[in-house]
Chain A
Amino acid sequence: MTAITHPVRREADAPARHHTWQHIVRVTRLQFVDPWVLIWTPAVIIGAAWLVSIVIALIITRVAGLDPEQMRQGMSYSWAVLSPFWYFAAVGVQAVGTTLQFALGIGSTRRDYWLGTTLAFAVFSAAVAVVFAGLRAVEVVTGGWGTSAVVFDALWYGDLPWWLAAYTTFALSLAVLVIGAALTTCYLRWRVIGVVTVGLAVVAALLIALAAITWLQAWPALIGWFAGIGVTGVFGIVLGIALLAGIGGYLVIRRATPR
């Protein structure tokens, strides 16, 4: 006969359990429980991209003996720094694809799940922004990691002060994560039809916008406007899209049903 006798352990702050903020934050914590998801895997990806860039730079300068300055010009168009962002999209999709069902199973509400997860995305994106900005600073100081390679100082980062660079990283990372999650939420609510509809709607809106701009011969004005708002403005739009996706996801998830 098994006699299980032991005291019941009660969490000390039991009365606070029903506060909504607690419910949101525990979902945020949930997203960070497995360090491989948000720490090691992105680290490995960016580490690999960095390593590949260094090796290429070494080959070009030391082996082929080409001019480092010219190579630097060329490498400043390298997409290596964006390599983890494809993975971030997958993270966004998985967050809703599998983790949502788990969270619902242990008693979270969909609303709390969405808020907690987008909060996790924001925290994570801020961390990525800071790390990339830091690595970029090291790259500049070491003259391209001692090999004239360009990894983090590439693309639009080249001319920006560190805080502006971090802002762009944050905006892009958050947008990719939230859009991935929001699209998956549309899938859970409306299945394939839903995702296709949303996708088609977005494409249609873009096409209409392009057609309108062309018909109005407004391209020069548009390009001028983009130049005017600069990097800050462009990534502000990216953040705006992230916000829209966040609100959209919150509205759609309330009746989403994991399969």
Chain B
Amino acid sequence: MDDSQPLYLQLAREIERQIVEGGLKEGDQIPSTNELAAFYRINPATAGKGVNQLLAGGLVEKRRGIGMFVAPGAAERLRSQRRARFADEYLEPLLAEARRLGISLDDLTTLIHHTAGARPAGQSSGV
């Protein structure tokens, strides 16, 4: 938790990360607002805002009287969101840095294949 983003957004992003990486599966209960506040050592209202953010994005659903649960399809929804942002978040900075270092597009492509090939198989799915 730092000051780069509002704390509630950082909380929401952290839970999203756990959903995408499979730590939180669909139908799993997420901790209560008070538990999240105590765990991350932030104000309960801030934690509540973070959870509301997830609720608004359809990533968690409320089951009255019980708590908040990861919504069906949340992981896939997050993955497609991140796929849509992939070019902006990862490729643009990559290309800018390559340009700065004078690496041509061809060299860059070769580098990518080389690096991907050098990684042990099964490191992550789908690459």
A contacts B directly (C-beta below 8 A): yes
Instruction: Please report A residues at the B interface, Cβ cutoff 8 Å.
Output: 1-3
Which residue from chain B places its CB closest to the CB of A2 in the assembled complex? Answer: B38
Closest A-B pairs by Cβ, 3 of them? A1-B38, A1-B39, A2-B38
**Cα distance A3–B32 in the bound complex, in angstroms:** 13
Q: Is B97 part of the binding interface, using a Cβ–Cβ cutoff of 8 Å?
A: no
Residue B14 CB within 8 A of the other chain:
no
- Chain B residues with CB under 8 Å of A1's CB are 35, 38-39
Main secondary structure of the interface of A (DSSP, over half): loop
> How many angstroms from the CA of A2 to the CA of B35 in the assembled complex?
9
Q: How far is the CB of A4 from chain B (nearest CB, A)?
A: 10
CB of B35, distance to nearest CB on chain A (Å): 7
Chain B positions near chain A (C-beta within 8 angstroms)? 35, 38-39
Interface of B is mostly: helix
A-B contact pairs, 5 of them (CB 8 A): A1-B35, A1-B38, A1-B39, A2-B38, A3-B38
Give the chain B neighbours of A2 by CB distance below 8 A. Answer: 38
Cα(A2)–Cα(B39), bound, Å: 9
A198 to B100, CA, bound (A): 83
Q: How far is the CA of A1 from the CA of B38 in the complex (A)?
A: 6
Give the distance in Å from the alpha carbon of A124 to the alpha carbon of B38 in the complex.
50
How far is A1 from B37 in the complex, measured between Cα atoms in Å? 10
Residues on A with beta carbons closer than 8 Å to the beta carbon of B35: 1
Q: Which residues of B contact A3 (CB under 8 A)?
A: 38
Q: How far is the CA of A3 from the CA of B36 in the complex (A)?
A: 12
CB distance from A152 to the nearest CB of B (A): 64
B71 to chain A, nearest CB (A): 25
Nearest CB to that of A4 among chain B residues? B38
Smallest CB separation, A98 vs chain B (Å): 37
What is the CB-to-nearest-CB distance from A145 to chain B, in angstroms, rounded to a whole number? 68
